[in-house]
């Protein structure tokens, strides 16, 4: 894999136009891809991304163009193929989330943590919806699932949590108290009754606004690139006031 961060370019104020201009400047010999997608990030800059293969199909070319105020920062990734990129995407995403324009300093993720790193209030949320149709294509209803959770962790490792979820208009609420248990690459929450909920620790990174983003993966999922990309959870702790 080759990964390069280029000097910032001036922003036009139009992210799609900025992407095409950056592609022409950085990649040059290959026509810009279509479509262009929105790049979203809890930790880093937002922007656009797009990708294509070289004319001889020997390499996969992926370009991020990060919107950094009055400038944009191109980040180019080249891999032997799309499958290779997919296998590296969680690592690439962490790198891209840590890119900063001077005078800010880059924010690489931490790969190990202690209880002291977790002290504070962490929040996460998610939602999904499905529409159903009949064999003839007529609308037949929909289903929606949404949830929000918070963990308040003290410096001594004790915690309290709250959870609320909605499934097809049915509301579920819960709360627990207990202690945090750190293992080899895991974060566990043991309730006072003995029940243990454990997560694989993926990364811990400081965001642009000073917040902290903790990425975890439920223990029931094997740690691999596909599962991290699709099933990992982002927990956010607001910056200290």
Exposed e or buried b for every residue in 109-134, given b needs 16+ CB within 10 A? beeeeebeebbeebebeeeeeeeeee
Longest dimension (CA), the chain: 63
What pLDDT was estimated at residue 33?
95
What pLDDT was estimated at residue 134?
75
The pLDDT tens digits along the chain (241 residues) read: 999 999 999 999 999 999 999 999 999 889 999 999 999 999 999 999 999 999 999 999 999 999 999 999 999 999 999 999 999 999 999 999 999 999 999 999 998 999 999 999 999 987 767 777 777 777 777 777 788 899 999 999 999 999 998 887 788 898 999 999 999 999 999 999 889 999 999 999 999 999 999 999 999 999 999 999 999 999 999 998 7
Q: Distance (Å, rounded) from C-alpha 219 to C-alpha 196?
A: 11
Report the predicted TM-score, pTM, of the whole model to 2 decimal places: 0.86
Q: Distance (Å, rounded) from C-alpha 39 to C-alpha 166?
A: 28
What pLDDT was estimated at residue 46?
97
What pLDDT was estimated at residue 99?
97
What pLDDT was estimated at residue 171?
86
Instruction: Delineate the domains of the chain, giving CATH numbers in brackets.
Output: 2-97 (no CATH), 115-127+150-162+176-237 (2.40.128)
Note if the bond before 69 is cis, omega within 30 degrees: no
What pLDDT was estimated at residue 131?
76
Tokens standing for residue 148: 């929000």
């Amino acid at each position: 894999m080759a990964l390069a961060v280029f000097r910032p370019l001036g922003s036009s104020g139009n992210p799609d136009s900025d992407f095409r201009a950056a592609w022409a400047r950085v990649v040059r010999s290959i026509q810009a891809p279509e479509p262009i997608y929105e790049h979203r990030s809890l930790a880093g800059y937002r922007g656009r991304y797009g990708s294509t293969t070289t004319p001889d199909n020997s390499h996969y070319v992926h370009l991020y163009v990060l919107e950094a105020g009055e400038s944009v920062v191109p980040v180019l990734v080249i891999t032997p193929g799309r499958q290779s990129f997919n296998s590296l995407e969680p690592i690439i995403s962490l790198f891209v989330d840590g890119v900063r324009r001077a005078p800010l300093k880059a924010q690489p993720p931490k790969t190990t943590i202690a209880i002291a790193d977790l002290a504070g209030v962490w929040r996460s949320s998610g939602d999904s919806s499905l529409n159903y149709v009949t064999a003839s294509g007529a609308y037949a209803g929909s289903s929606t699932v949404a949830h929000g959770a918070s963990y308040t962790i003290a410096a001594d490792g004790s915690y309290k949590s709250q959870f609320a979820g909605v499934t097809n208009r049915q509301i579920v609420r819960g709360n627990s108290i207990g202690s945090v248990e750190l293992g080899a690459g895991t974060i566990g929450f043991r309730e006072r009754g003995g029940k243990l909920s454990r997560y694989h620790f993926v990364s811990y990174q400081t965001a642009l606004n000073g917040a902290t983003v903790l990425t975890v993966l439920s223990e029931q999922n094997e740690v691999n690139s596909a599962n991290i990309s699709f099933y990992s959870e982002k927990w956010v702790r607001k910056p200290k006031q």
